[in-house]
Structure 1
Amino acid sequence: MPDHLLDVRNLSVDFHTARGTVHAVRDVSWHLDRGEVLAILGESGSGKSVSASAVLDLIDCPPGEITSGEILFDGRNLLTMSADARRQINGKRIAMIFQDPLSHLNPVYTVGWQIEETMVVHGTARDAARRETVELLRKVGLPDPEGAVEKYPHQFSGGQRQRLMIAMALALKPDVLIADEPTTALDVTVQAQILALLQSLQKETGMGLLIITHDLGVVAEIAHRVVVMNEGEIVERGSAREVYHNPQHAYTKKLISAAPGQGAMSEGGQGPEPMLSMRGVTKTYGAFHAIDDLDLDLYPNETLAIVGESGSGKSTTAKLLLRLEEADAGEAHYEGRDIFKLSPKELYEMRRDIQMVFQDPTQSLNPRMSVYKIISEAWVIHPEILPKPRWRERVAELLEQVGLEAEHMYRHPHQFSGGQRQRIAIARALALEPRIIVCDEAVSALDVSIQAQVIDLLHRLKDELNLSYIFIAHDLPVVRDFADRVLVMQKGKVVEVGPVRQIFESPREDYTRNLLAASLDPDPDVQAERRAARLEAAQ
């Protein structure tokens, strides 16, 4: 019998690019046993996804090349197998859940057909595959599984699409399940549900579960052992508890110290008069009430966080405020004027004062434009702000203000990391010298240390420029560190609003308490207590 179910030994992977060879994975070794949960922890570029992709032969060769090592599955080296032999293992015995389910589900086929096809390709009759698919959808907790099989991917929420991916991965009862960032950008309650589902399915089937993540909370919740990667190498390994409480490597210590939710909370303190007020705001889409009689106040130099699950109305509130969508009823007063009643010319002028930073800078920055053009476009639209001869100098100032270099103005967005692109998006928002910035999940997809840097940057800019923020987020530890007040939304309604300390330490509403209970703590001991409390409450 082999020593381990899956055994990666001395694996090295290079990528040959126009700028030279990138050593993505260097002499990496780790193993996974049956019934075990192993987490590979690291930030973007650490090599964690590349090492896992090599297991399923998902590395594009070229430009990628596996230069050394072995990947043993049940004692057989996957790297020396024929393509036909590998196909009998991939999907059937080793399956994978990808980070973005919408990118990996075919939009033109029903989800039932896609899950069935996984089984049909490996020899199951179509009728039997349909029955098994319905049962799988029931097992992963989708409502009305008989009806769900006839729907298309766009008809499901983000959390439901992730459940569909899990159902597809489990269709052939694999021995190993690889989950690549399975909960990134999901709400805290949905994240907790997905992790609980993976745990229960793993215990039920006895499969080995490999979790790839940059989230210490996910490690604390689900992992037995953890491998920490940095710049293609393993820098630390051990039990989740050992690594958190007694880290040996400087990189691991940096990751742990950057985890949100550990700093001092704001004491609040608001001005006598709000600078922005929304009253009785309503928005419906057909019979669906996206926003229902919403009231909101934002005070000068304040960070107001809006939290809640997907579909609670957080982002719709931001779109109504900026008139990206029109409200059905209500008022939004800024400087004595109702934003909802402004003429196009007045709205054009007001938008200088209220800017937005979106969740995904890759989509919100034009890939064909240089950073200089992206930022200076604000002054093309509002030429009264700055004379053209000063544009280049001001772009340089803005880039340095957000922690980048002046020479970066000559590059294009694809030449930057995710955190750097978000800094460019912030610089673009600052170009119009706004008084309010709306951040819509602006740090949710960033690595923990990059997230901490962007939050520190927003803090500093708030004080330097006397800004106010509306901070839309699902990551409650980040909200705890950054916000002055918190507004909690559920199904389009305001459930609770108050200072950050009151919301986190003595919430009044059950919904708020449930949100906080579902949030993950990076400390495995704290997370174990929360898990025990959840189980007790469920019983």
Structure 2
Amino acid sequence: MADHLLEVCDLSVEFHTAAGTVKAVQNVNWHLDRGETLAILGESGSGKSVSASAVMNLIDMPPGKITSGRILLNGQDMLKMTAEERRRINGAKIAMIFQDPLAHLNPVYSVGWQIAEAVVTHGGPKDKAKARALDLLRRVGIPEPELAMGKYPHQFSGGQRQRLMIAMALACKPDILIADEPTTALDVTVQAQVLALLEELQAETGMGLLLITHDLGVVAEIADRVVVMNGGCIVETGNAAEVYRNPAHPYTRKLIDAAPGKGAMPEERDRSGAPLLEAVKLQKHYGAFHALKGVDLTIMPGETVAVVGESGSGKSTLARAILRLDDPDSGSILYRGQDLMTMHPRELFGLRRDLQMVFQDPTQSLNPRMTVFQLIAEAWVIHPDILPKREWKARVAELLEKVGMKPEHARRYPHQFSGGQRQRIAIARALAMQPKLIVCDEAVSALDVSIQAQVIKLLDGLRREFGLSYLFIAHDLPVVRDFADRVIVMKSGQIVEEGPVRQIFDNPVQPYTQALLAASLDPDPEVQAARRIAREELQQRIPA
């Protein structure tokens, strides 16, 4: 009998690039036992995802190369297996769910067909594959599973797509499930549901769960042990609670200290005077779906207003409507007293520099054919009076440094960066316009905790220096607690509660707001255990 279900011994992986050799993983050792949850914690570039990719044989070689080590599954070294033997293991014995399910689900096939295909591909009976797919959809909590079988990935929400990925991964009852940032882009209540589902399925099947994450709250909620990686090396390992309470390595302490939601909340600011922006009775329909139901919103100069709520609550629709990226059906949007809804297109073009947006998914919002320099400087091409061309290079370098990147990154393309780095580029691009209001639509949700803290500090510093205002769409409530002045809670296209950040976090009135706060993850395992109990108690009180 092998000592462990899965064991990685002295694993080293490097990538050969035009700029030289990158040592992504260096002499890494960890193990996973049956029924255990092991979290590999670290920031972008730490090597955590490369380790998991090596287990799944997903590293492109070249440019990648495994230079040393063993990967033992039940005592057998998978690195010595043939490609055919590895294919028989992937999916059947070891399955993986990814951070972005939409990118890994085939858009031209129904989800029922895709799950059934996973069963058949690994030797399951064709005549029972459809029934197995239907049973899995029920098991992971997809509404109306019989109808869902014939739907396509784009017809599901982000949380539902992640559940579909879990269903596909479990199709062949694997011994090991690798989850690579499975909840990063999910709302707090959906995140809690997905983690609870993984725990429940693990208890049923006894599978080992390998969780790749940068979120200390996720570690506190679900992990038994944690491995902390930095610069391709393991710097600390141990019981999740012990590592949080008594971190032995300075890098682990840095991660813990950077976790949001622990500092003092902003004091309530004076809201007298003329507002910067007002939205009055905004309505928006998409066919029969009523996305906004008479929403009112006021943002004062220098104020940060956060909008929180679950997927489908209308918060992103509100953001797009305010910038007239998606015109509302009725209502008014007043910017410094001028109604954007009745403004001439030429006037509106002139105001675009004052109103900027940072989108949730930088992969979609950054042109893959443009360098970082071109992406940031594009603002000055469109509005040439902002900055003389001779100053573009220096300003791009300055903006990149402000968001935690290097001036030499200006020569690269978006695909050469991690997701978190791409989001930093998107923020730098928005700052290039010297705007008065920035709408941040989940702008920091994909960032590592230390970079997230750095970007929030940057945004707050810019607010103080230039009097910037922010409309901050977010599902990360600890960040909202640290950064916002006021909080608006949305549900089903309506505002159900609003007020200063201290009032919302310390004395929420509505059960829905209370449920959101209870579902938010805390990096302290003891605090998180108490929140789990509170979340279960509130479950029965939430209106349908």
**Fold match (TM-score > 0.5):** yes
Distance 1:55 1:257, change over 3 A: same
Moved more, 264-273 or 409-418: 409-418
Percent identical residues? 69
Q: How far is the alpha carbon of 1:414 from its aligned partner?
A: 4.6
Matched residue type, 1:28: V
1:245 maps to what in 2? 245
Q: Is the 8 A contact 2:511 2:538 kept in 1?
A: no
Partner of 1:309: 310
CA contact 2:275–2:336 (8 Å) conserved in 1? no
| Separation (CA, whole Å) in 2 of partners of 1:453 and 1:418 | 16
Q: Check conservation: 1:282, 1:327, Cα contact below 8 A.
A: yes
Report the Cα distance in structure 1 between the residues aligned to 2:436 and 2:538, rounded to whole angstroms.
45
Q: Which residue of 2 aligns with 1:11?
A: 11
1-side partners of 2:65 and 2:394: how far apart?
A: 44
Residue pair 1:188, 1:515 contacting (<8 A) in 2 also: yes
Q: Which residue does 2:254 correspond to in 1?
A: 254
1:127 aligns with 2:127: yes
How far apart, CA to CA, are the structure 2 residues paired with 1:191 and 1:419? 19
Task: Calculate the aligned-residue CA RMSD, in Å.
Answer: 1.9
In the alignment, the residues of structure 2 paired with residue 244 and residue 438 of structure 1 have an alpha-carbon distance, to the nearest angstrom, of 34
1:211 corresponds to which letter in structure 2? L
Distance 1:13 1:389 in 2: 42
How far apart are residue 135 of structure 1 and its match?
A: 0.9
> Which residue in the other structure is 1:361 paired with?
362
Name 2:281's counterpart in structure 1: 280
Show CA shifts across 1:19-75 (max 9, x none).
222211111111111111111111111111111121121111222222211111112
Instruction: Confirm or deny: 8 A CA contact 2:515 2:535 kept in the other structure.
Output: no
Q: How far does residue 298 in structure 1 lie from its aligned partner after superposition?
A: 0.3
Counterparts of 1:507-522 in structure 2, within 5 Å, are 507-522=508-523
Q: Give the distance between the partners of 1:81 and 1:394, measured in 2 at CA.
A: 52
Q: Which residue of 2 aligns with 1:525?
A: 526
Inter-partner Cα distance in structure 2 for 1:62 and 1:412: 20
Q: Distance in 2 between matches of 1:343 and 1:421?
A: 34
* Counterpart check, 1:63 vs 2:63: yes
Q: Secondary structure at the match of 1:293?
A: strand
Which residue is 2:492 aligned to?
491
In structure 1, C-alpha distance between the alignment counterparts of 2:57 and 2:371, rounded to whole Å: 36
Conservation of the 8 A alpha-carbon contact between 2:437 and 2:471:
yes
Give the letter for the 2:366 counterpart: L
Q: Is the 8 A contact 2:420 2:446 kept in 1?
A: no
Counterpart residue number, 1:201: 201
The verdict on how the C-alpha distance between 1:403 and 1:249 changes in structure 2, with shifts beyond 3 A counting, is closer
Give the Å deviation of 1:384.
Answer: 3.7
Distance 1:404 1:101, change over 3 A: closer
Contact 1:270–1:299 (CA under 8 A) maintained in structure 2 = no
Match of 2:200, SS? helix
* Counterpart mapping for 1:225-240 below 5 A: 225-240=225-240
- Give yes or no for contact 2:293–2:493 (8 Å, CA) kept in 1: yes
Q: Does residue 473 of structure 2 align to residue 481 of structure 1? A: no
1:340 aligns with 2:341: yes
- C-alpha displacement of 1:467: 0.7
Match of 1:261, as an amino acid? G
Do residues 218 (structure 1) and 221 (structure 2) align? Answer: no
Which deviations, in whole Å up to 9, do the C-alpha atoms of 1:430-457 show, x marking residues without a partner?
3333211111111111111111111110
Summarize the Cα distance change of 1:117–1:408 in structure 2 as closer, same or farther, 3 Å threshold.
Answer: closer
| C-alpha separation in 2, matches of 1:90 and 1:348 | 52
Aligned equivalents of 1:390 and 1:86: distance in 2? Answer: 54
SS at match of 1:182: coil
Equivalent residue for 2:90? 90
Q: Cα offset for 1:171?
A: 1.0
Q: CA deviation at 1:390?
A: 4.9
Aligned counterparts of 1:304 and 1:325: Cα–Cα separation in 2: 20
Aligned to 2:141: 141
Establish whether residue 322 from structure 1 lines up as the match of residue 308 from structure 2: no
Tell me which moved more, 269-278 or 100-109.
269-278
2:246 maps to a residue whose letter is N
Structure-2 change in CA distance of 1:63 and 1:388 (3 Å): closer
Q: What are the superposed Cα offsets for residues 274-294 of structure 1, whole Å, 9 maximum, x if unpaired? A: 221111100001100111100
Shift of 1:252: 0.5
Q: Report if aligned partners of 2:6, 2:32 keep a CA contact under 8 Å in 1.
A: yes
Q: Which amino acid aligns with 1:200?
A: E
Change (3 A) 1:411 1:2: closer
Give 2:466's aligned residue.
Answer: 465
Cα contact 2:97–2:179 (8 A) shared by 1: yes
Q: CA deviation at 1:364?
A: 2.4
- Which 10-residue stretch deviates more, 427-436 or 483-492? 427-436
Structure 2 stretches of 5 or more lacking a match?
none
Rounded Cα–Cα distance in structure 1 between residues aligned with 2:97 and 2:401: 39
Q: Measured at CA, do residues 180 and 287 of structure 1 come closer, stay the same or move farther in structure 2, by a change above 3 Å?
A: same
Q: Please report how far the alpha carbon of residue 377 of structure 1 lies from its aligned counterpart in structure 2 after TM superposition.
A: 2.7
Cα shift at 1:301? 0.7
Distance 1:166 1:390, change over 3 A: closer
Shift of 1:494: 0.7
Give the Cα–Cα distance (whole angstroms) in 2 for the partners of residues 424 and 538 of structure 1. Answer: 39
**Whole-angstrom CA distance in 2 between matches of 1:296 and 1:120:** 52
Name the amino acid aligned to 1:230.
N
For 1:460 and 1:335, locate their aligned partners in 2 and report how far apart those are by CA, in whole Å.
Answer: 23
Cα separation, 1, equivalents of 2:81 and 2:425: 46
Structure 1 residue runs without a partner (length 5+): none
How many angstroms apart in 1 are the aligned matches of 2:275 and 2:510?
25
Which moved further from structure 2: 159-168 or 116-125? Answer: 116-125
Shift of 1:408: 5.3
In structure 1, what is the Cα distance between the partners aligned to 2:314 and 2:439?
14
1:381 and 2:413 correspond: no
Please, which moves more after superposition, 405-414 or 471-480?
Answer: 405-414
Greater alpha carbon shift after TM alignment, 49-58 vs 436-445: 49-58
State the alpha-carbon separation in 2 of the partners of residues 46 and 63 from structure 1.
Answer: 18
Q: Partner of 1:341: helix, strand, or coil? A: coil
* Shift in alpha-carbon separation, 1:223–1:283, aligned structure 2, 3 A: same
Q: Is the 8 A contact 1:369 1:412 kept in 2?
A: yes
- Aligned partners of 1:195, 1:403: CA distance in 2, in Å? 31
CA 1:220–1:317: 2 relative to 1, 3 Å: same
Q: How has the CA–CA distance of structure 1 residues 403 and 76 changed in structure 2, closer, same or farther, with 3 Å as cutoff?
A: closer
Task: Look up the match of 2:100.
Answer: 100
Which residue of 2 is the match for residue 165 of structure 1? 165
